[in-house]
Amino acid sequence: MFTSTFARSTLLIAMLTVGVFLAGCPPPSGEGEGEGEGEIHPGEMVSVPAGTFTMGRTDSGDDANNGFPNEDPQHEVTLTAYQIGKYDVTNQEYADILNWALARGYLENYSGEAYDHGVVYAANEPLFSPSNPYCQITYSGSQFSYRSRTGLPGTTTYSMALHPVVGVTWHGAAMYCNWLSMSQGLTPCYDINNWTCNFAANGYHLPTEAQWERAAAWDTASNKHWIYGFMSDTLTGKNRCNYYDGNPNYVNPLGLTDDPYTSPVGWFNGVNVSPNGSIATVNSPSPVGCYDMSGNVSQWCNDWYESYPSGAVTDPQGPSSGSYRVWRGGGCLWTLYCVSDGRSARRSSFFPAGTLSAFGFRLSR
């Protein structure tokens, strides 16, 4: 049964307007290689070993000065070993999976019929809208592709292929995980009848909030929780992360002429030099080797939002239901509390059928 006309209209309005106000990779080893429905490879994954870490904001520096009550209390979390995306999912990767799904009749339009235009739906939920001006993926009438945009120096044209996908709903991120799994012959994690996640399946899913923070902040070698997701306790300069710097200014490494002012995933690698100010980057991975865990785009997590537990937990997955899904990681368009939103401990939430112009995601498995 499809959602009501009123519900779909409400979601359509949200997808078209909310973003205005806010701002060669091998397949993983193991099951299913080459056995899926027209296999599509994911971006590179990082292996995170099993272990225990301290989750929640620290008591010093920007955490103490700019933190929020929902980042407390600190608590011990034990996680089973997992994999997480080294980079955010890109426009090219998302467009590829949309074309894969389109060819198989999995995409729907507003009326629940075979997709032909407008907001993209699947399993009765909105995924994203190519007509949203902030979306970097277009639809030609037969296939999806990514935009090109103008930046520096002069009027240089940049492909958005390797920039993180933005304007995707939580459902759009979860459905990407399912379709990617199917394309590789893996078992999808999400039950699209109720959007619960089977973490025992061998397919891809969005990282749990705990998996995300462990990868962004926890340095096992020094038994330390970094305040920012590039092994630093301070956020200064324009050479380590793409964020709003409060001058007012945006880091905007490519000097894009309009928002979203994203940068290619993994831009801050110590090799790239920004044409917007000739700023040499500093290699800025998280403790486990992920990039863009602070800034560039905020990232959907699997969990429904709830307050932290007061005691130690193992493999927390959040509540079984709720109204809002968690996002982490700040973004390039946050114009308030820029020092706060990029912190590794920062947590907030948004309704899962909504989109924002700097919302993306990365994979976990």
Note the pLDDT of residue 296.
94
Helical (H) or strand (E) element with 190? strand 190-191
Residues, the chain, total? 365
- How does residue 6 score in pLDDT terms, banded at 50, 70 and 90? very low
Note the pLDDT of residue 341.
87
Average pLDDT over residues 125-141: 94
Helices and strands (H and E) in the chain: how many? 6, 21
Average pLDDT over residues 26-31: 31
Tens of pLDDT, residue by residue over 286-329, are: 999 999 999 999 999 999 999 999 999 999 999 999 999 999 99
Tens of pLDDT, residue by residue over 244-284, are: 877 768 899 999 999 899 999 999 999 999 999 999 999 99
Peptide bond preceding 153 in cis form (omega within 30 of 0): yes
Average pLDDT over residues 124-132: 93
Q: How far apart are CA 21 and CA 15, in angstroms?
A: 11
**pTM for the complete prediction?**
0.90
Contact between residue 280 and residue 238 where contact means Cβ atoms under 8 Å apart: no
Note the pLDDT of residue 313.
98
Task: Between 88 and 21, name the one with better pLDDT.
Answer: 88
Q: How far apart are CA 89 and CA 73, in angstroms?
A: 31
Among 6-20, 27-41, 246-260, where is mean pLDDT lowest? 6-20
pLDDT of residue 342 exceeding 80: yes
pLDDT of residue 123 exceeding 60: yes
Tens of pLDDT, residue by residue over 190-200, are: 999 999 999 99
Note the pLDDT of residue 36.
58
**Which residues sit opposite 144 in a β-bridge?**
139
Note the pLDDT of residue 26.
29
Note the pLDDT of residue 37.
62
Average pLDDT over residues 178-206: 97
Note the pLDDT of residue 331.
82
Note the pLDDT of residue 39.
65
Mean per-residue pLDDT over the chain, rounded:
88
Note the pLDDT of residue 10.
36
Q: How far apart are CA 99 and CA 160, in angstroms?
A: 17
Note the pLDDT of residue 4.
36
Note the pLDDT of residue 265.
97
Note the pLDDT of residue 336.
42
End-to-end CA distance of the chain: 31
| CATH of span 5-360 | 3.90.1580.10
- How does residue 133 score in pLDDT terms, banded at 50, 70 and 90? confident
